[in-house]
Copies of this chain bind each other. A is one copy, B any other.
Amino acid sequence: MLNLPKKVTIIEVGPRDGLQNEKLFVPTEIKKQFISKLKKAGLKEMELTSFVSPKWVPQMADAAEITADCLDADSLNIVLAPNRNGINRVYAANCHAVAVFVGVSNSFNLKNINKSTQDSMAELKPIIHELKEKNYFVRACISTAFYCPYEGKIAETETLRLCREFVEAGVDELSVADTIGMAAPNEAYSLFSTLTEQFTDILLTAHFHDTRKLGLANIFASLQAGISRFDTSAGGLGGCPFAPGASGNTATEDVVYMLERMGIDTGIDLDKLMEAIEVVRPHLSREIDSGYYRLHTKS
């Protein structure tokens, strides 16, 4: 028999992980409408924006304005902060949920944020402690958890070790990512089975890119490993500018379609999700190529 949950939580990462990869600046007003319509579609947990340096990621220069406008009591509104500077900007905003991130791969972390994985952790641990003292919800995003574009295969033990460090530091959620979309379903099953066994008191989230069309198969495998939280991106937006070969995230609409068709409740309205995508679509440098969107707009 298949082991499937009755309910799954989708964490929408389109406004942050998705738009961050768009070279042309998407107007702040459009971002706000996009976020608002995503929430109306039922997406109650969301990465809103990122307090990275506007010099490095101009697309996220409006982080403070987006945060100020898009907070609401009904949703888990997560903002990213890469370092102490970012955290100080978060404190000036009024939000209550923060994501920090680090790559298991040292080479990736160096290219991504110019620090070794170890240096990142040394900086983040006191920050996490501080955030928890201030009652923030803290999400740790673990990138290159399976493969690295520079180092290749990442040992499962390395990923587990980093996850444990975050858990011991007191985070509320681990979002474990296949950053370059190379994990095979048996690898997804293996890592997430071990994670669900080892960490029973934490929110465990899987984040798959659809680079090789393996996103849905990996999600199906992870469901069987006991995972019931997935990061996805409306329209399949996103990727990673520092990971050669990486394309979009697994599309929210394709994941919701698959889950609902299996009788798993997501609380998400696909028609309203299509409306959200239409808000941002004219401002993107790419086509939406999720299966559901293509079928929906053709018919």
Instruction: Specify the main secondary structure of chain A where it touches its partner.
Output: helix
Chain B residues with CB below 8 A from A186, complex form: 2, 4, 262-263
Are B212 and A262 within 8 A (Cβ)?
no
- A279–B215 Cα distance when bound, in Å, is 29
Asked if A213 is at the interface of the complex by the 8 Å CB criterion, the answer is yes
Q: Tell me which of B185, B212, B224 contacts A291 (CB under 8 A).
A: B212
Q: CA of A212 to CA of B212 in the docked complex: distance in angstroms?
A: 15
Please report the total number of A residues contacting B with Cβ < 8 Å. 34
> Would you call A212 and B257 a contact (CB within 8 A)?
yes
Q: State A251–B212 Cα separation when bound (angstroms).
A: 11
From residue 232 to 260 of chain A, which have CB atoms closer than 8 A to chain B?
245, 251, 254, 257-258
Q: A258 with B4: in contact, given A186-B263, A299-B245 (CB under 8 Å)? A: no
Contacts of A224 in B (CB 8 A): 2
A258 and B258 CA atoms in complex are apart in Å by: 19
In the complex, chain B residues whose CB is within 8 Å of the CB of A185: 220, 258, 262
A184: contacting residue among B210, B251, B258, B295, CB under 8 A: B258
- Complex Cα distance, B201 from A277, in Å, reads 49
Which of B2, B290, B299 meets A213, CB within 8 Å? Answer: B290
Please name the residue on chain B nearest to A254 by beta carbon: B213
**Once the chains are docked, how many angstroms separate the CA of A257 from the CA of B182?**
10
CB < 8 Å neighbour of A216 from B2, B213, B257: B213
As a 0/1 sequence over residues 33 to 71 of chain A, the CB contacts with chain B under 8 angstroms (1 = contact) are 000000000000000000000000000000000000000
Q: Which residues of B contact A215 (CB under 8 A)?
A: 213
Kindly identify, within residues 1 to 38 of chain A, every residue whose CB is under 8 Å from any CB belonging to chain B.
2, 4
Question: What residue of chain B has the Cβ atom nearest to residue A236's Cβ?
Answer: B213
A290 to B289, CA, bound (A): 12
Are B214 and A258 neighbours in the complex by a CB distance under 8 Å? yes
Q: How far is the CA of A187 from the CA of B221 in the complex (A)?
A: 15
The CA of A189 and the CA of B224, in the complex, are separated in Å by: 13
Query: How many angstroms between the C-alpha atoms of A299 and B215 in the bound complex?
Result: 21
**A211 contacts partner chain B, Cβ-Cβ < 8 Å:** yes
Chain A: residues with CB nearer than 8 A to chain B?
2, 4, 184-187, 189, 210-217, 219-221, 224, 245, 251, 254, 257-258, 261-263, 289-292, 295, 298-299
Give 19 A-B contacts (CB < 8 Å), ordered by A residue: A2-B189, A2-B221, A4-B186, A184-B258, A184-B262, A185-B220, A185-B258, A185-B262, A187-B261, A211-B291, A211-B295, A212-B254, A212-B292, A214-B216, A214-B258, A217-B258, A220-B220, A245-B298, A245-B299
